[in-house]
Amino acid sequence: MKTVSENRAYGGVQGVYSHGSTACGCDMTFGLFLPEEAERGPVPVIWYLSGLTCTHENAMVKAGAQKWAAEAGVALVFPDTSPRGADVPNDEAYDLGQGAGFYVNATEKPWSTHFRMWDYVTEELPELIFKAFPVAEERQAITGHSMGGHGALTIGMSFPGRFRSVSAFAPIANPSASDWGRKQFTAYLGADEAKWAPHDATLLMRKRGFDGPILIDQGSADQFLDLLKPEALAEAMAARRQGGIFRMQKGYDHSYFFVSSFIEDHIGFHAAALYD
């Protein structure tokens, strides 16, 4: 692992690190914020998964999360959204290929060699971080925006007991029924829709739900509402009687202005669960 940069921030350290990834078959970069408390021992951690076109840097720079994480005494991890490099396949469209890993393990060519973001985010990167940094493996939470909200929800529901809380900003909530999902799942996983179901938050909510609290924020003026399909997830949560909060925020769109407006709420929501 290489240190790309480390900057003092809110009494803690915002670092950027790179390493060779076995899962993705290329070098990967991630951001990690450690609060001041990490100098004295392991701290709880919140995973932040970013959306389409993003790198590790977008949320790290734009969300304003470090201030609130420092106040709560929690670490933040900002993984990249896909493998990258000259040898990694790509597509001319912004919503497929590099920057659009969708947090799945691709099984179809040409994507299957490198696009194994599920294994990277759930196995390889956690193992590296827990060995190298003072982060408490037994106290984890996960959140994300858009494609990253999809990833946070599906990962959270697929690993019972790992995460104490899950939240999402404008998640791609029902990708099996959306062009933000059907296109990518077909490319990465093939045409058999049964293989898509483990990566659809609405279907997972109907099937198993989450064993802890959930917070969802969605902007009412989001320009991608028809692609996100938040109503499907809200209906699934209600039908399952899932413990959680779903908020439609009037007038907010899909941008990081929306995320930064409510990131304090999400950090506080997770901190309450992590320190319970």
- Give me 272's structure tokens: 């309450």
Query: How far apart, in whole angstroms, are the C-alpha atoms of residue 67 and residue 201?
Result: 29
Please pick, among 56, 145, 150, 254, the residue that the annotation labels catalytic.
Answer: 254
CB atoms within 10 A of CB 251: 8
Q: 11, 69 in Cβ contact below 8 A?
A: no
Residue 85 gets the label, from left (phi > 0), alpha (psi -120 to 50) or beta, of: left
For the chain, how many helices (H) and strands (E)? 10, 9
Query: How far apart, in whole angstroms, are the C-alpha atoms of residue 157 and residue 93?
Result: 29
Amino acid identity of residue 104, one-letter, is V
Largest CA distance in the chain: 50
Please pick, among 50, 222, 266, 270, the residue that the annotation labels catalytic.
Answer: 222
Q: Which residues pair with 244 in a beta bridge?
A: 214
SS3 category, 195: helix
**Alpha helix ranges (H) inside 99-176:** 117-119, 125-132, 147-158
Query: How far apart, in whole angstroms, are the C-alpha atoms of residue 232 and residue 87?
Result: 38
Is 222 among the catalytic positions?
yes
- Give me 130's structure tokens: 């827990």
Query: How far apart, in whole angstroms, are the C-alpha atoms of residue 50 and residue 10?
Result: 22
Is 192 among the catalytic positions?
no
Is 265 among the catalytic positions?
no
- Residue 114 DSSP symbol: T
Please pick, among 21, 82, 146, 167, the residue that the annotation labels catalytic.
Answer: 146
Catalytic residue annotation? 146, 222, 254
